[in-house]
Homo-oligomer: A and B are copies of this chain.
Amino acid sequence: MDKNTINVGLIGFGTIGSGVVAIFNENIDLIQKKVGKEVNLKKVVDLDITTPRGVEIAPEKLSTEINDILEDPEIDIVIELMGGYEPARTFILKALENGKHVVSANKALLAKHWEELNSAAQENGVRICFEASVGGGIPVLQPLNESLAANHMESIYGIINGTANYILTKMSREGLEFKEVLQEAQEKGYAEQDPTFDIEGHDTAQKLIILTIMGFGEYVKQENFHVEGITRITPEDIQFASEELGYVIKLLGIARKVDSELEVRVHPTLIPQDHLLASVNDVFNGVYIVGDAVGPVMLYGQGAGMMPTASAVLGDCLDIINHPQKNIPYGPPESQVKNIKDLDNVISKYYIRLTALDQPGVLYRISKILRNYNISLESVTQKKRSHGQAVPIFMVTHEALEKNIKQAMEEIDSLNVVQEKSMFIRVLED
């Protein structure tokens, strides 16, 4: 940018927005000296500009009028941190049309309207940057898109939802039930009052969509892949996986190329305890990337929060100021992916938990069904004995086809000796 002063407008004065203001107050000299220009937060727009945010800001910089940013020709970069689909989408499109660069952390919007937003930026010769949308402050998208650009990506595994990871970590450490931990997380503010978005995997799915664009050049809509949350995981699953099998259970977003097909899915996954992803605990995020040249790389840090996310937003601002004409396309230039693999055709090992009556012939009936679907077992464990009562049976399969597992489990669940809907969890074998 030729100007000596870069003016920034901020839409959304919530938690992250306050973090951005805090960085402007305290650390903007770092950015200014790196870009050799003055970087000025000119206007902050929010519907509520009266509630104190705990950060200093000159009153004349606050406004409730969106056009104070969108129609101000002096504003070069618009930071959108209001979240949600509308009016965020309309505001971003307007900003791009008006020749302003956009920095956004809005993963929901990006995941849903990627093509429209990306095209609008290109058509208007400006940039849209969104490092903060995945993994909070962790540098993830820049490395995927640039530093690692010489790689064909093989797989991306992400622990990218702090709430779900906090709940699973706490269940694992303290042997607590999902509901107990969720309630505590809500009390502590680690989980929303309506936690559906996090615990059912939707947030992970949105971030995975963005990672899949960057790593594989493929834009996959959320309705086209399997998204499964963590609500059915029990302390027994976690304990058995850990003590008997040497695995931990994590909610994973997976994008993986197998031959020329891409697997995209979100679900709880058993991860070997000595895999680095198994050590990503509490609210932390980890994105584990495997490239054909670089091999495995993991990027780790706080995936959310006021200051970490604001750090990524300002990193994007620096990049835009230094390279307003950056013409690096997002994702690899030519996708080598032929199609998105149907989950039914995915091959994996599976952990299975059944609740069946402890009586003669039960295992025979179950194993017969498994055999019919060509599923062989690595291990079977029945922990308690209680004749005629329901007891849990844990099984681990060798590699099997998802379709077969699903059908076998349906048949098994329909047996009169099986008391509860069975549970199966896919196993990461990398």
CA distance A29 to B335 in the complex (A): 12
Residues on the B chain within 8 Å of A276, using CB? 276, 279-280, 300
Q: Known pairs A293-B311, A295-B307; list 19 more (Cβ under 8 Å).
A: A27-B151, A29-B334, A34-B329, A35-B328, A137-B291, A137-B295, A139-B147, A139-B297, A142-B142, A149-B315, A149-B318, A150-B314, A274-B281, A276-B279, A291-B311, A294-B307, A298-B300, A300-B300, A322-B328
Q: Which 7 A-B pairs have the closest CB atoms?
A: A33-B333, A150-B314, A139-B147, A137-B294, A297-B301, A293-B311, A139-B143
Closest to A35 in B: B328
Q: Check A327 for interface membership: any CB of B closer than 8 A.
A: yes
A310 CB contact (under 8 Å) in B19, B30, B150:
B150
List A residues 105-154 near B (Cβ within 8 Å): 131, 137-139, 142-143, 146-152
Q: Which residues of A contact B (CB under 8 A)?
A: 19, 23, 27, 29-36, 131, 137-139, 142-143, 146-152, 274, 276, 279-281, 291-302, 305, 307-308, 310-312, 314-315, 318-319, 322-323, 326-329, 332-334
- A34 to B217 CA separation, bound complex (whole angstroms): 12
CB-defined A-B contacts under 8 Å, sample of 27: A19-B293, A30-B152, A31-B149, A33-B334, A34-B146, A34-B329, A35-B328, A137-B291, A137-B297, A138-B294, A142-B142, A143-B143, A147-B312, A147-B315, A147-B319, A149-B314, A150-B310, A276-B280, A292-B307, A293-B311, A293-B314, A295-B302, A295-B308, A296-B300, A298-B298, A299-B300, A323-B326
| Cα-based distance from A8 to B150 in the complex (angstroms) | 15
Do the beta carbons of B327 and A322 come within 8 Å of each other?
yes
